[in-house]
Amino acid sequence: MAGCSEGPHGLLSGQDMVKHHTESYEVNAQFNKLVSLKDFDETRKADLERMKEQLRCLLSQERVNKTESLSEGVWESEHRRIRLTRVEGKWQSFGYEDSTGKYVECYEGLFLMEMNRLMVKWNGVVVSIEQGYSLLLGHPGSLTLEEYQVYSTLIRSGYYVLRYERGRKYCTTNLDDVPPAEERCVWGNLYEMLNQPNPRKDKYPKQEDGKLYETVRRSMQRYGKLIRNPAAKSEESTDEPTSKKHRPDNVSASEDHSDGFSRIEHFRRMFDRFDIVHSLNEEGRWVERTVDPPEENDLRPVFDLFATESQTFKKSFPPLPIARIIVRRSSQRMLHFRELHRMYQQQEQTPVPLILMLVSDNLSIHCFLYDTKRVQRNVIALTDENPPRAASSSFARMNRPC
C-alpha cells in the first residue's frame, strides 16, 4: 500500500490495518452508457478519469487476513492441480481427496484465492491473483474465462456448482417424492374403512400426527354422508344467510332451462375458437435431418447447479441438480431449440432443465432457461387471443449484468 508504514517482514502496522477495515472503496459512475466520440465532452472525460482513479485505488488495496484462517496449497504443474498442505474451514463443496492427499481443481483454487481463503505457492513463491488467471484458466481440461465467470457468479450468489460429469452418481432420495401428511392420512383412512391392507403403510415412514389422522377421518366421514344424502348439506350449513339457503319463489324452471342452454352456447362459441396443438408424444420424436457444424458436435453442459437449500450437500454424493448449465460467448451463434432438445433427451437418470448462459465481451451474463418436459395430452390454445406455442417447452429469459 503506497504511503503506508510497514512493520517487520513487510507487515502492515496496526494503524494501517484499522484504516483498511474502516474505509470503504467504491466506484461511482455518473455516466454509465456508451457514447460516441463527438458526445465525449470534457465532463464525461473528467468522470472517466475519476472512475479510473477510484478503480485503481480499489484494486491496489492490500488483502488483509489472519494467517491462521488461510488454507495453503502448492501448485503441481505436471498434474495441473493444487495440493492442499493446510486446510482451514469447511470444504464439503470444494476439492477432492485420494490416497495421495487433498486437492482442489484449478477453477476452485482461483475462486478461493479471490475470496482470500487460499494461498497458493509455486516453487516457494506465492501466486498472485493476476498470475492465477493465466496459470489456472484457458488450458486444455480447465475452464475458459467465460466459464469461470459463470462459476464465480453462481457461487457468490449462494448456489452449489459442480463441473458436469457424465458418469456422476446422484443421491436420488428426495423428500418431495413423499406425499404430504394429509394425503397419507386420507389413504390410510380409506383402506381402513374398506377393511383392506394398506400397501402404502411400509412404503413411507409413519410420521402422521394422531390428531391430524382423526381430523381427516372425521372430514372424510362428513363428506361421505353429504355424498350419500345431499339434502343434509342445507341442514348443516346454518351459518349461511337465509337469502342464500332458499331459492326465491319467482325463479321458475323455464329460467333454469334457458340458463342451461345459454351456458351450452357459451361453451360452443369458446370451443369454436380453440386450436389444438398436438403433443410431441403423438407426433413421435423429432427426426433430425440437418447436420450440426463440426464445432458444435461436442456441445454439452459445463456445470451442474444445485439449490442453496441443500444444507447437507456433499460433493462426493450430491443430490439431483436443479439445472445443467451451458456456457457460450455472446459472439457465438444462438443454439437452436432442436439442439437443446437433443441435449435434454441425452441426459442420464432424471432429466433436469437446461440453462444457457451467454457471456458478453464485458463479462456480463444473459441467462436462458429451457424446460422441455413432455406434455401427456393435447394443449388447447385460443387462436384469437394467444398464438400457438410449442407444447414441449417453456422459455424464460433474464438479463443479469455481472
Q: Terminal CA-to-CA distance of the chain, rounded, Å?
A: 28
Q: Residue-wise pLDDT tens for the chain (402 aa)?
A: 444 444 555 666 777 777 766 666 565 655 556 667 777 778 888 888 888 887 787 777 666 667 777 899 999 988 889 999 998 888 878 888 888 889 999 999 999 999 888 999 999 999 988 899 999 998 888 899 999 999 999 999 889 999 998 888 887 755 455 567 777 788 888 888 888 777 766 666 555 567 888 888 888 888 888 877 776 555 555 555 544 445 555 545 455 555 666 777 777 777 777 665 555 544 444 444 444 554 555 688 999 998 876 667 778 788 888 899 999 999 898 888 888 888 888 887 778 899 999 999 888 899 988 876 655 454 444 444 444 444 333 333 344 444
CA 128/CA 59 separation, integer angstroms: 13
Q: Is 117 in contact with 90 (CB distance < 8 Å)?
A: no
3-state secondary structure of 400: strand
pLDDT the model gives residue 274: 66
Coil vs helix vs strand at 120:
strand
Walk me through the domains of the chain, giving residue ranges and CATH numbers. Answer: 8-59 (no CATH), 67-142 (3.40.1170.20), 280-400 (3.40.1350)
Identify the CA nearest to 74 among candidates 115, 126, 135, 137: 126
Please state the pTM of the whole predicted model. Answer: 0.58
